[in-house]
Structure 1
Amino acid sequence: MTRTTTDSRSEATDETAVDRAVAAFRDGNPVLIHDAADREGETDIVYPAGAVDAAAVAKLRRDAGGLVCTAVSDAVAEAVGLPFLEEELDHPAAADHDLTYDDRSSFSLPVNHRETFTGITDEDRALTIRRLADAATAVARSDGYGTEEFAADFRTPGHVHVLRGAPDLLADRRGHTELGLAVAAAADLPPAVVVCEMLDADSGGAKTPAAARAYARRNGSVYVEGAAIVDRLG
Structure 2
Amino acid sequence: MSLEESISSLRRGDFILLHDGGKRENEVDMVIAAEFVTPEHIARMRNDAGGLICMSINHEFATSLGLDYMHEILSTSQKFDSESKKMIIGTAPYGDRPSFSISINHKNTFTGITDKDRALTISEMAKLCNSENDKKKEIFNSTFKTPGHVPMLIASEGLLSNRLGHTEMSIYLMKLAGLTPVTVICEMLDSQTYTALSTEKAKQYAIANTMPYFDGTELVKFAKEH
Aligned residue for 2:186? 196
Distance in structure 1 (CA, Å) of the matches to 2:201 and 2:161: 29
Instruction: Answer yes or no: is the 8 Å Cα contact 1:25–1:48 preserved in 2.
Output: yes
Aligned residues: CA RMSD: 1.2
Which of 11, 25, 34 aligns to 2:19? It is 34
State how far apart, in whole Å, the 1-side matches of 2:67 and 2:4 are. 31
Task: Return 5+ residue gaps in structure 2 as ranges.
Answer: 75-79
In the TM superposition, residue 29 of structure 1 has moved relative to its aligned partner by: 0.7
Runs of 4+ displaced beyond 6 Å = none
SS of the residue aligned with 2:170? Answer: helix
Cα separation, partners in 2 of 1:20 and 1:145, compared to 1, 3 Å: farther
Aligned residue identity for 1:58 = A
- What corresponds to 2:221 in structure 1? 231
Which residue of 2 is the match for residue 103 of structure 1?
96
2: CA distance, partners of 1:157 / 1:43: 27
Equivalent residue number for residue 73 of structure 2: 88
Match of 1:165 among 150, 155, 167: 155
For 2:152, the aligned partner's letter is: V
Cα distance between partner residues in 1 of 2:175 and 2:11: 10
For 1:83 and 1:135, the matched residues in 2 are separated by: 18
Q: 2:53, 2:41 → 1: CA distance?
A: 11
Partner of 2:42: 57
Does residue 102 of structure 2 align to residue 117 of structure 1? no
> What's the TM-score once normalised by structure 1's chain length?
0.89
Identity of aligned residues (%): 37
- Measure, in 1, the Cα distance between the counterparts of 2:88 and 2:149: 24
| Structure 1 portions without partners, runs of 5+ | 1-10, 12-16
Secondary structure in structure 2 of the residue aligned to 1:151: helix
Equivalent position amino acid for 1:208 in 2: S
1:182 and 2:172 correspond: yes
Q: Please tell me whether the aligned partners of residues 128 and 160 of structure 1 are also in contact (alpha carbons under 8 angstroms).
A: yes
Q: Distance in 2 between matches of 1:87 and 1:230?
A: 27
CA-CA distance at 1:93 after TM superposition = 4.6
Q: Give 1:96 shift.
A: 4.9
Matched residue type, 1:103 = D
Asked whether the 8 Å contact 1:73–1:166 carries over to 2, the reply is yes
| Corresponding residue SS for 1:158 | strand
1:126 is aligned to: 119
How far does residue 233 in structure 1 lie from its aligned partner after superposition?
3.4
1:72–1:192 Cα contact (<8 Å) kept: yes
Distance (whole Å) between structure 1 residues aligned to residue 40 and residue 135 of structure 2: 29
Counterpart of 2:77 in structure 1 is none
Deviations 1:182-224 (A, max 9, x none): 1111110011000000001111100011110000000000000
TM-score w.r.t. the length of structure 2 is 0.92
Query: For 1:175 and 1:216, how far apart are their aligned partners in 2?
Result: 21
Aligned residues: 216
